[in-house]
Amino acid sequence: MDDTPTAATFPRSARAPWRLLLQGAALLLAILLLNGCANLATQDPGRDDPTEDARGTDFSPLPAISDKGKAPTDHRDDLWGAVASRFTLPVPDNKRIDAELARYARHPEYLREVSERAEPYLYMIVEKLEAADLPLELTLLPVVESAYLPGALSSSSAAGIWQFIPSTGDYFGLERDTFYDGRRDIEASTEAAVTYFSQLRGMFDDDWSTVIAAYNGGQGTLFNAIRYNRERNRPTDFWSLTNLRKETRDYPARLFALVKIFSEPEKYGFSPHPIKNGPALAQVELDRSISLVKLADLTGLDHDEIYRLNPGFDRSITGGKKRQLLVPRETKGRFDVDTLNSAASEAEDWQRYTIVKGDSFHRIARRYGSSVDEILAINRRQSALARPGEVILVPAGRVDRAVAAGNARTHTVQSGESLWSISRKHGINLAELRRMNAFGDNPVLRPGDKVVVGVASAAETGSGQGGAPSRYVVQPGDTLWHLARRFSTTVDELSALNQLGPDGSLRPGQELVVASN
């Protein structure tokens, strides 16, 4: 079995504060509520009125890491080396650490890849740890937690490079809404992790093996394990604790193993990715919703790059709340007032929509005059599997423009029909159907009336533009069952649309119709 370390291999953390433990009844509440990842609960924004325009944008670079007399000048272009030169925690002589070290050392290519993933963020993380007087060994904790993958998501819904679960993310003020998840925001989640470690060090008197384990298992879990040993007259140092889950027992060993490897990389046949020892990012203040796609186009940034630096944004639209955008420092001059205004204008073309039972992305796209590819792109999705209750972004105003141009798709009311039955027939949320038609709560419908149900296709309007059936080119390994799930349809529907034989066999390169007009 391949034992290459991956983000999924390693445990996820719980989060909780310390100082509340000193405040009377809050002591009991904090211990009960914040007692480790396993015991914490698993899991819409309104538009703020902007009080200032884009002229308030802050383009200043992040503060530099101070030398504190420790960083030699030859680490100017070697941030990992500068970090390792300032490691201060003594590494225990422990068999558990030796075992983890041997496991990591077998995969130098993995460590090289992880050290490269940290490149955009590492300087900022070091700066925040140093400002809080925390050991720089903690720069390696995201390797253990998430392999420095900003989009990492665990089975317990822990997210981001520091792996906050929803409840503890909420506790530390990491906001979540339709457009944004602060647990994946590199800067916001790093600040939350720094706050948590600052509290844990006071809680456990700078016993860093215990502090690190508490980050994984929760401080309540460590207090209980210490009490368990004390009641039996056993040593209470971390390495003597036995009443812990294996992942929590092994967690500090993994970090200390990485400390040894990054301290002497050549000894282990490992060469960390070279990272410049200087600020790499600048902040742009957003006081309104903007389109990240449009912003990338206007500034010449690669779309993937802007998402990699800002993984907290769940959509291509940032939402109406004030947020910070991280951009490469050398590009800061491109984010001027006109650019931000143009990107903001594009964001107004989208609105939120809640998927209902019976919806598919093809029906939604057809209804709003869009395409499946466009809706998936704006929502930063790979899969077109529609889940009832999920909120997505859909085009705003296209239905209204179609009505004005006489290009709307309509339903002719039949005797006995109601707006509710029409909404069910066309798979449209009742409130959305009212909005499309500017209806009140109880509209009077008469047989023969026309009810707008979406934007008409080219076949329906005779325009010859748009509305073409959605198509897909078969890839190796595709099956009808997998494609039906991907495109929120059925095997029977795909077979009928494409006149497939009873065996339903597919061949790579074959073009399929996956949605009709």
Could you give the count of Cα atoms lying within 13 Å of 189 in the half-sphere of its Cβ?
31
C-alpha dist (Å) from residue 48 to 175, 180, 321, 393: 15, 15, 5, 18
Q: Which of 134, 136, 144 is nearest to 213 (CA)?
A: 144
337-347 and 292-299 helices, crossing angle to 10°: 150
Q: Which of 16, 407, 429, 443 is nearest to 223 (CA)?
A: 16
Burial of 123 (0-12, 13-18, 19+ CB in 10 A): buried
Q: Is residue 16 within 8 Å of 196, Cβ to Cβ?
A: yes
Tell me how far apart the 2 most distant CA atoms of the chain are, in Å.
86
Q: What is the DSSP string of 80-99?
A: HHHHHHT--SPPP--HHHHH
Joined tokens for residue 154: 């665990």
Query: What DSSP character marks residue 382?
Result: S
Joined tokens for residue 36: 């480790």
CA dihedral 132→138→140→144, nearest 10 degrees, is -130
Query: Mapping DSSP to helix (H, G, I), strand (E, B) and coil, where does residue 120 land?
Result: coil
CA pair distance 293, 303, nearest whole angstrom: 7
CA pair distance 312, 190, nearest whole angstrom: 12
Q: Is 100 a catalytic residue?
A: no
Q: Is residue 248 within 8 Å of 221, Cβ to Cβ?
A: yes
**Residue of 137, 145, 191, 432 with catalytic role:** 145
Active-site residue set = 145
